Structure 1
Amino acid sequence: MKAGRITWVLLMAVTVSGAAGYLAEYSTVSSNVNGRELPICSVETEDAKVALTFDVAWENGDLPEILDVLEEEGVKVSFFVTGEWAEQNPELLKKIRDLGHDLGNHSQDHKSMTQLTYEEKREEISEAHERVKEIAGVEMNLFRTPYGNYDDEVILTAEEQGYYTIEWNIDTMDWKDYGKKNILNTVMGNEELGNGAIIRAHAGTKYMAEALKPLIQRLKEAGYELVPVSKLIYRTDYHMDVRGRQIKDEKNN
């Protein structure tokens, strides 16, 4: 098993009785399990929090309604947008930002990342990053792969560019257009629903906007606080299990 990313943060030098002393903080971050790189699919936490996320790549006719519902319910979520979508919808992009939601990278034009060369992978991530930065002034650091397709090189390439790769452990299945009731049952009846769950939804599906308010209300009634991914994941001192569950390392005192 690889050691993972290792970060040395040198703090200021201090002088005590003429002797220079240096303090260093040692932290480890590993996304490697049994020789395989994994994305963050959920988070181990004692807090009753879940993250609701939306992939935004093509149709967005329901996005204003989704944003209205989120505002009414006082909920912040994470939107993973393609660079191409951002270019075509600058005002909606800025509105997502202004309402306080996460903006995450969903690649430039939604290609399957595992089918690309290393350089093409880098370009898909960096182009989307620059588009969103130019339009909304946001430096994104959360990445979701198109179609949920990833391999070691995809995750490491995103990491090289300062990104945490975020997938999910609960899919609303809204993209199947089976109806509002199906979305609610799929999430609320999912055995993976629990503290630290990451739920995937989409903008532009037939029933998600209609299902959103009752879904949020049911999650709240079940005792969960809905937070954006940026408020759920650990940034340092963690490792992953085989399910892509992020686990905080215990620090030795």
Structure 2
Amino acid sequence: MLRAAASAAAAGALVAGCDPHRDEDSGTVGREPSPSGAGQASPAPAHAARPPTRAPGLPVQIEHGPRGGHAVALTFHGRGDPKLATALLGEAERAGAKVTVLAVGDWLDEQPAMARRILDGGHELGNHTMHHRNICALPAAEAYAEISRCADRLRALTGSIGSWFRPSQTRRATDLVTGLARRAGYPHVLSYDVDSLDANDPGAPAVQRTVLESARPGSVVSLHLGHAGTVAALPPILDGLRRRGLRAVTTTELVT
């Protein structure tokens, strides 16, 4: 499946992730989602969708979890070719790892079955805005719409607005965006302390090296669906973490 996924990527199936310099290439910024996907119903997931996570004692904007444990959270900005996404989830599951996917709303409109696929794998699902715009540069009303409309998609597909909110095209949210996220129902904004830089497609060895050189107990690692190099890098990343006594868990498990 991995070779097939990589071939699809080589054929141009990749969709840009969170890199602000590449987001324009996705062709979805500022547009309404395709109506063809919006009306598709997704069956109720076998694993229940979690409500927004509350982590007492941690700041509103979370960059990492406790440093004294033996876990890290691999978090994926959710967008791109569903074949690559499915291949990546399969790699995680074969290694006994759980991940957190922050889904873009228009991707869920186009690929509603992915919400169930993520949850059925025992993974965690959250909100990464509706259209992946530069949310910190938007007026308040537009920024709130980006958060709340993705929350509506998640609720319709899973019964929950998702465990986490992560802002788009930025590592950290402004105070305004943090307040809007709380208004939409998210007690925390999920940032990260390790950037894999995989959205730039540096190749699997570079992604592996970047993650393993930077991750430590409690780290929240930023990665992306929709990139063949990330799929190829995941097994050696998980193996490298395991050799260091670390396991990949959902962000909720990491911080609660």
TM-score by length of 1: 0.74
**What are the Cα deviations for residues 225-251 of structure 1, in whole angstroms up to 9, with x where unaligned?**
2111111225xxxxxxxxxxxxxxxxx
Q: 1:174 to 1:30 in 2, by over 3 A?
A: closer
Q: State the 1:89 CA deviation.
A: 0.4
For 1:136 and 1:30, the matched residues in 2 are separated by 26
Residue 89 in structure 1 maps to residue 114 in structure 2: no
Alignment partner, residue 222 of structure 2: 200
Structure having the higher Rg:
1
- Alignment partner of 1:171 out of 195, 198, 201: 195
Alignment partner, residue 8 of structure 1: none
For 2:82 and 2:230, the matched residues in 1 are separated by 11
Q: State the 1:45 CA deviation.
A: 3.6
- Which letter maps to 1:102? E
For 1:88 and 1:132, the matched residues in 2 are separated by 13
RMSD: 1.8
SS class of match (2:255): coil
Kept after mapping to 1: 8 A contact 2:124/2:163: no
**What are the Cα deviations for residues 111-133 of structure 1, in whole angstroms up to 9, with x where unaligned?**
11112122222211111011111
Alignment partner, residue 213 of structure 2: 189
- Which letter maps to 2:97? V
**What are the Cα deviations for residues 143-165 of structure 1, in whole angstroms up to 9, with x where unaligned?**
11111252110111112222111
Aligned 1:1-253 pairs, distance under 5 A? 31=59, 39-148=61-170, 150-163=173-186, 164-190=188-214, 193-234=215-256
- Unpaired runs of at least 5, structure 2: 1-54
TM-score by length of 2: 0.73
Q: State the 1:216 CA deviation.
A: 0.6
Q: 1:105 to 1:28 in 2, by over 3 A?
A: closer
For 1:109 and 1:229, the matched residues in 2 are separated by 23
SS class of match (1:189): helix
Percent identical:
26
Kept after mapping to 2: 8 A contact 1:57/1:110: no
| Larger CA deviation: 134-143 vs 176-185 | 134-143
Aligned length: 200
For 2:253 and 2:100, the matched residues in 1 are separated by 10
- Which letter maps to 1:172? S
Kept after mapping to 2: 8 A contact 1:51/1:226: yes
For 2:161 and 2:190, the matched residues in 1 are separated by 16
SS class of match (1:109): coil
- Which letter maps to 1:156? G
Q: State the 1:142 CA deviation.
A: 0.5
- Unpaired runs of at least 5, structure 1: 1-26, 32-37, 235-253
Kept after mapping to 2: 8 A contact 1:54/1:203: yes
Q: State the 1:85 CA deviation.
A: 0.6
Q: 1:28 to 1:65 in 2, by over 3 A?
A: closer
| Larger CA deviation: 51-60 vs 214-223 | 51-60
Q: Report runs of 4+ in structure 1 exceeding 4 Å deviation.
A: 27-30
Q: State the 1:29 CA deviation.
A: 5.5
For 2:56 and 2:197, the matched residues in 1 are separated by 35
Kept after mapping to 1: 8 A contact 2:126/2:161: no
For 2:63 and 2:236, the matched residues in 1 are separated by 24
